[in-house]
Structure 1
């Protein structure tokens, strides 16, 4: 039997990123589980157990390869005596949002894996996140806090676009065409995610122990609200109400359950996910005003994310990914 091939740079990077994400999720779930009702706790604990197992597997791979394990996020990044930061069902709403991130992340990592054990790991994580997303979706639907996208009449015949104005989203003297279902689905998804993200930012802003970090979360809160309003207007123009929910609000607690480092990383991860989702929305939208709006949103998210990166570096919170050898040093 031949020995396993060395881990590639992409596999090392993806294992490293998975470790960061999973250790962060563990800390978030520890706070949620401490304050959860029994029904919620069972679902949260299941994801916690899966995440803990994944961290053990990745740690074992690093050890076998003779590599140092990342630090990620440890027990020092969660303060278990802190009161509940988010109210009714936010914990499951957060889980629902984060499993969307994980589904995209681990599916991408699977396609970037070459060694069978690494590929199997990410294939399993993709399936695991899909299953957890399904469970959290049904949980929230049963309790009436997750709003389904708009229902539409089923098509009875196939049509092909005949009008060159189909892609025109900027008209001064006449109405633009109604949104198609592809565009509605992408807008709904973006608004749903930003509503959850906005509450996350509100809670983080209330408990951040550094003024610059607090101001950053306030900026994130305002950005999420702006995105929700701007995209919601596209739905309203087609007489569709944007999604909204009465559940999952931040409490009035001012006691931080998480470290500033963890909250900043969580925000960075969601900003990256937002950029990816925004790019997808722009790419698949055929009405020209939608990609234009998505481009402006992407610019705002990029500026926000870059500002956050500078804060993390300034405070020594940004763990550096594994580096490749600097061959330029050989010529000096």
Structure 2
């Protein structure tokens, strides 16, 4: 890198700031997992994920220091992790969680890379994308070896290619006659959103179960109910097409009520998953060709958005919503500047 390096763009600032927040959170969660995981194969995956997050924090810290930027507060073991909390998650949940968060990371890193222009920043996110790909691949292998990998539904192979010959193909609502069967693109998105909501449901329940704050408990239980309702809607869409929705055998939490994480971390984590869920629904709505599915994704996205907004309000009222880098308020600056 030359001494006259180009300054970071707003997109690059947003990307490294978001990455630091996410990795500092992940490091706390994975540190807790490492203390309680019992299965050796799953431990190796948790350790791999922890090492990735730890390395990312070091590299991102160097970038912030090089650019003379204030380092985000993020999340730390000292303030956001209770090392003495008993086991809250089963080993199987830990494995499914890491596999799911790797998927979230793949989308995030590809987006960050696409928004970056400077060579060193692109290189950082390309490396992160590869590491996250390896994490997803390795965790998938362990899930498969233990018979825990939840596969998407199977369908009969098509015997020929075909073209849509009527606008009725787009109709999902039908008063008279039958709805057209789901296609594989629609099935895949329904399946994926069932799986992500199941993880979100368990995580929200675990945070509600352990939080000492009544407002946080209520918000988390609301999130768990939303996830459960969305799972039921997506499952019904599959069942109405005689497709049995696959489900995990054991993705559960223990009965511990001791909080392993701060409310700040729990609220941030659910906000992160809500944002990822909204993105998944938008992608699913755009890819689905039956209008009933499009409408469902749009209205359910609004429900998630309201939930996320209330979560942000809760974080603000508790003084724990960290502000991303922003522009200077020129009007405020003009009113508060020192007189000459």
TM-score tier (shorter): over 0.9
* TM-score calculated relative to the size of structure 2: 0.95
Unaligned runs of 5+ in 2: 336-340
Shift of the alpha carbon at 1:243? 2.5
* Residue number in structure 2 paired with 1:7: 8
User: Residue 160 of structure 2 aligns to a residue in which SS?
Assistant: coil
* Residue number in structure 1 paired with 2:104: 101
Kept in 2, the 8 Å contact 1:88–1:247? The answer is no
Shift of the alpha carbon at 1:330? 5.5
Unaligned runs of 5+ in 1: none
Written as runs of structure 1 = structure 2, the 5 A alignment for 1:202-213 is 202-213=205-216
Size of the alignment, in residue pairs?
332
* Residue number in structure 2 paired with 1:165: 168
Written as runs of structure 1 = structure 2, the 5 A alignment for 1:112-127 is 112-127=115-130
Kept in 1, the 8 Å contact 2:210–2:256? The answer is yes
Q: Cα RMSD over matched residues?
A: 1.1
Kept in 2, the 8 Å contact 1:103–1:129? The answer is yes
Shift of the alpha carbon at 1:27? 0.4
* Residue number in structure 1 paired with 2:58: 56
1:150 to 141, 149, 153: 153
User: Residue 144 of structure 1 aligns to a residue in which SS?
Assistant: coil
Kept in 2, the 8 Å contact 1:167–1:288? The answer is yes
* Residue number in structure 2 paired with 1:320: 323
For the pair 1:201 / 2:200, whether they are aligned, the reply is: no
Tell me the distance in 2 between the aligned counterparts of 1:42 and 1:225.
Answer: 31
For the pair 1:83 / 2:86, whether they are aligned, the reply is: yes
* Residue number in structure 2 paired with 1:138: 141
* Residue number in structure 2 paired with 1:19: 20
Kept in 2, the 8 Å contact 1:99–1:130? The answer is yes
Kept in 1, the 8 Å contact 2:88–2:253? The answer is yes
For the pair 1:45 / 2:57, whether they are aligned, the reply is: no
* Residue number in structure 1 paired with 2:338: none
Kept in 2, the 8 Å contact 1:195–1:244? The answer is no
User: Residue 296 of structure 1 aligns to a residue in which SS?
Assistant: helix
* Residue number in structure 1 paired with 2:272: 269
* TM-score calculated relative to the size of structure 1: 0.98
